[in-house]
Structure 1
Amino acid sequence: MIEQGSSKTQKAIRIKNVRAKGFRARLREFLRVPMLYREWQHEKRQLANPSSPDPLKACNSILIAPCDPVTLAGSKGDEAMITAFVERIREFNPDCRFGLLTYHDRVPETLAGLGARPEPVWANPKWSLRQLVRTVSRYEGLAIVGGDVMDGYYTPLTALRLWVVGDMAARLGKRSAILGFSFNDKPSPRLRRCLDSLDRRFVVSVRDEVSLERFRRFSATEARLVADAAFLLRPSFSERIEAVCFWADSQRAAGRTVVGFNLHPMLIKEGDQTRRSAMIDASITALRNVAVRDDVSYLLISHDFRGGPMGDEAVLGPIFEGLQGELGERIRYWKDRFSAKELKAIAGVTDAVLTGRMHLAVAALGQGVPIVAVTYQGKFEGLLRHFDLPERLAVSPETILVSSRLASLIDELIASREVLAASIAEFWPRVERRALLNIEPFLAQGADAAF
């Protein structure tokens, strides 16, 4: 009874802290959003409306505004989009230089090799549209990594800031575009006034049909359909990937199907430890039961390496510990902090992937590997539609709390993997062309003929 009471007390404290944090965020937005609108109107009045850039000239310098200017690559998806964008632009224009809007004056190791210069002016010492406009003016283009923040789901203030900076870049006569982003079905109403008055030269790209439909219902701003920029990422078969490839090849040589598996704590709302434990227990039971009746091996794949309760290790670690003794060589979990390029290579050595991370799904599909997705924010449905894959492959987090239903999903994925892979291969050329549209606004006119 003492333990039960202690658990209830801890849960109550967690809920209280979450509510207090939410209240502070709402108060901050209540005060700062109107201030930002006023600052935006003031800065627009200062501009003389420069002419549009010459479409026959390539963009030789591009400032990148990440989804998260603090960590830049805290999400492997953000890292994948930034890396793919820079590398593909350089294939067309090797001399293009890049900057990264940051909070700090350093760049994560996984992005350092891109040679992008940090521009630590996002909030240093405080957020200032005037300072950002001065920084943007030193570049020929601005690319916003839209990801899943542009609808204001996480914070309307951050989303509004990105929209405003993109609009100002266009008004400065720069190439300005948002890389393909998701848009959920409950966007923040605080964004509507901004979205309905964006400069028409600002290129808005949405990364799936479902998000595009939602965006068009919310705003009259012109937007176009693309595919996720992360589809353009090329895999990296580094030395430490060799061990993963060797294991996967040995399992297939033994007649087994290699299934990639990823779940993460954010699938459980408000960090409910009881439900998280239920997800772990259901996963252990499901994976065990499928392994008993099928020739299958499991590769557990982390796609978020943050420590503590938010990273994938918090879920995948206990699942691996619960099955390692029984399955032996049939289950592996590498805990290296792989780059996005390495993770794409890892996704490609599997035969199928069940994942709760959208950009692990993108990595797998981009390698021709079929998936089942545990969805959140309605982001996966549009991703599947790119490949004409059935919507039943996107399931709710509640589904995976029941071991028998999770086992059935894995069984179905294994049984239908060849048919699904054929559909992915058929639609891949169209998806790749859509993904390449992300870089098109920054190329010289006619350069996109290559795709």
Structure 2
Amino acid sequence: MNSLKAWLRETKQTLLNAPGLLFAIDRALFSVLPGRKDTGRYSLLLAPPGGGNIGDQAMVESFLENTEGPVRIIVRQHQEVRIPAAHQDRTECVQLRSLVYGGLPLRLLDSLRYRRLLGDARSLAVVGADIMDGAYNWRASVNRSNLACLASRQGVDTRILGFSWNGKADPRALAALRRAAEAGVSLLLRDPVSAARIRVDRVEGVTETADTVFAARTLDTSAADEWLAALPPGAPFALVNISGLVEKKTPQTGEYRTLIDGLLQRGLQVVLLPHVSRPGADDMTACRAVFDGYRDPRVHFVDRLLEPAQIRALAARARLVITGRMHLAIMSLYSRVPAITLASQGKVEGLMQLFGLDELCIEPRTGFGERVLGKADTVLDRLAEVRGRIDDRLPEVQERARLNFVLKQSAQKRPSSPRVAQVRAAQ
């Protein structure tokens, strides 16, 4: 009897969370509610999950830095996103807990609030990143596409910002994205490999761009000044990230000992840098596990999550970056520093192809420590050449990233090349 009750509860919950049912109810609601205003005041952003993920925060900040006027950001919880002081006066976070991840009946209330937000929106941007193909959570992927579809049908200029596509999309996520494209949603793929994959899946309306973080406009040198004070003056260092997500699939501690030992032998200091800290994929835990195995003053551990502008400034001073997180690679390339990156979810290959650095993408299989070390040797021996290749490609990549912020229904011109603001936190 208990097992039957549990099955019934689970079945009921599955039905109430079904994206198809939620989408049908949304369409019915939207059809009977008053139409939206001709012009909206706000730029509306559907935020990524955030909450302890520097990459997610960086994408939100890049949106703010490249979008003029008042902004409303839809979040699941307020603490998932931090609004920099420079944008607080014009930015409002709207908490809709159940809009993307919830089910009936609470989802119904959030749908009504979402419809009201669209009524005064001049545009909607959905942060696509790596969460549109269903690899992590197919229901959330479908819901995001459906919400974009509904907005476009209401006449709102709607975009899914720079996202990757792994080529093995969940069929339900693929169907929802096709429906959104047919409704007029702009699909902005962030690399040529993802664009090719999604075209093979017969999705229309694809524009090739680059990750939105390449359009960032700020640097903050405070953290670099603080953490690098522990290094000998002028000492070269490698910035090394150990991904908690990769750790779930591949044991890494031994691999990173091999790698770090090799970097130390080559005269580099090593700075361990977490990029994500949240349950189930915690870089802080993974980095500390490796750091605790050393009693070497040449190995350093940044024991807190930094801000995106701080990461960019810190990466700019590194000789080399080695990372299991793609957005750290993006911020390193932004700073013209080579980034050897462990590939996961099929999303890194296209990034490296943008720079002609396909060889810096390495699968995190057993023995990857030696392979990464060998690649590091090659990069360090040819550092001027590799940096030159990044320098040659970066302006075009940044221009592609700025395409994410061009509204198709407006008369505005393409955003001009950004000035990078140098800031330093007050001591």
1:348 maps onto 2:348 in alignment: no
- 1:224 Cα offset (Å): 0.3
Partner of 1:301: 273
The one of 93, 96, 105 equivalent to 1:118 is: 93
- Rounded Cα–Cα distance in structure 2 between residues aligned with 1:185 and 1:318: 34
Partner of 2:421: none
AA paired with 1:364? S
- Rounded Cα–Cα distance in structure 2 between residues aligned with 1:38 and 1:449: 37
- 1:75 Cα offset (Å): 1.7
Contact 2:245 2:280 in 1 (8 A): no
Contact 2:41 2:120 in 1 (8 A): no
- Rounded Cα–Cα distance in structure 2 between residues aligned with 1:242 and 1:152: 40
- Rounded Cα–Cα distance in structure 2 between residues aligned with 1:435 and 1:249: 37
AA paired with 2:261? R
The one of 334, 343, 349 equivalent to 1:381 is: 349
The one of 355, 358, 361 equivalent to 2:326 is: 358
1:76 maps onto 2:81 in alignment: no
- Rounded Cα–Cα distance in structure 1 between residues aligned with 2:409 and 2:54: 26
- 1:65 Cα offset (Å): 0.3
Partner of 1:173: 155
- Rounded Cα–Cα distance in structure 2 between residues aligned with 1:107 and 1:149: 16
AA paired with 2:255? A
After superposition, residues 222-241 of structure 1 pair within 5 angstroms as 222-241=205-224
Three-state SS of the structure 1 residue aligned to 2:237 is strand
Contact 1:110 1:339 in 2 (8 A): no
- 1:298 Cα offset (Å): 1.1
Partner of 1:267: 246
Using the TM superposition, name which of 217-226 and 39-48 deviates more: 39-48
The one of 59, 66, 72 equivalent to 1:99 is: 72
Contact 1:261 1:353 in 2 (8 A): yes
Partner deviation per Cα, 1:200-253 (whole Å, 9 max, x = no partner): 43211010111111111223321100000011223432534312344568243x
AA paired with 1:348? A
- Rounded Cα–Cα distance in structure 1 between residues aligned with 2:375 and 2:51: 31
- 1:47 Cα offset (Å): 7.8
Higher helix share: 1
Partner of 1:148: 130
What TM-score, normalized by structure 2, do the two folds share? 0.84
Partner of 1:134: 116
Report the CA distance shift for 1:296/1:449 in structure 2 as closer, same or farther (over 3 A): closer
Partner deviation per Cα, 1:177-205 (whole Å, 9 max, x = no partner): 11101111111111343333335432110
1:393 maps onto 2:360 in alignment: yes
- Rounded Cα–Cα distance in structure 2 between residues aligned with 1:262 and 1:156: 28
1:424 maps onto 2:418 in alignment: no
Three-state SS of the structure 2 residue aligned to 1:438 is helix
Contact 2:19 2:143 in 1 (8 A): no
What TM-score, normalized by structure 1, do the two folds share? 0.80
- 1:140 Cα offset (Å): 1.6
Three-state SS of the structure 2 residue aligned to 1:212 is helix
Report the CA distance shift for 1:403/1:371 in structure 2 as closer, same or farther (over 3 A): closer
Partner of 1:11: none
The one of 173, 176, 191 equivalent to 1:208 is: 191
Report the CA distance shift for 1:49/1:218 in structure 2 as closer, same or farther (over 3 A): farther
Contact 2:189 2:207 in 1 (8 A): yes
- 1:297 Cα offset (Å): 1.5
AA paired with 1:36? L
Report the CA distance shift for 1:221/1:187 in structure 2 as closer, same or farther (over 3 A): same
- 1:122 Cα offset (Å): 4.2
Partner of 2:370: 404
Structure 1 unpaired stretches of 5+: 1-19, 54-58
- Rounded Cα–Cα distance in structure 1 between residues aligned with 2:384 and 2:411: 40
Contact 1:227 1:435 in 2 (8 A): yes
Partner of 1:12: none
Partner of 1:280: 253
Partner of 2:44: 63
- Taking only aligned residues, the RMSD between alpha carbons, in angstroms, comes to 3.0
The one of 408, 416, 425 equivalent to 1:450 is: 416
Partner deviation per Cα, 1:276-307 (whole Å, 9 max, x = no partner): 3xx11221133113422x2212121111133x
Report the CA distance shift for 1:33/1:108 in structure 2 as closer, same or farther (over 3 A): closer
Contact 1:251 1:297 in 2 (8 A): no
- 1:41 Cα offset (Å): 4.3
- Rounded Cα–Cα distance in structure 2 between residues aligned with 1:332 and 1:251: 15
Count of paired positions? 400
Partner of 1:310: 281
- 1:157 Cα offset (Å): 1.3
Report the CA distance shift for 1:444/1:314 in structure 2 as closer, same or farther (over 3 A): same
Identical amino acids, percent of aligned pairs: 22
Partner of 2:303: 335
1:413 maps onto 2:396 in alignment: no
Partner deviation per Cα, 1:110-139 (whole Å, 9 max, x = no partner): 557632212122417722334322222122
The one of 34, 44, 54 equivalent to 2:20 is: 34
Three-state SS of the structure 1 residue aligned to 2:414 is helix
AA paired with 1:260? L
Three-state SS of the structure 2 residue aligned to 1:445 is coil
Contact 2:128 2:160 in 1 (8 A): yes
Structure 2 unpaired stretches of 5+: 1-5, 100-104, 418-427
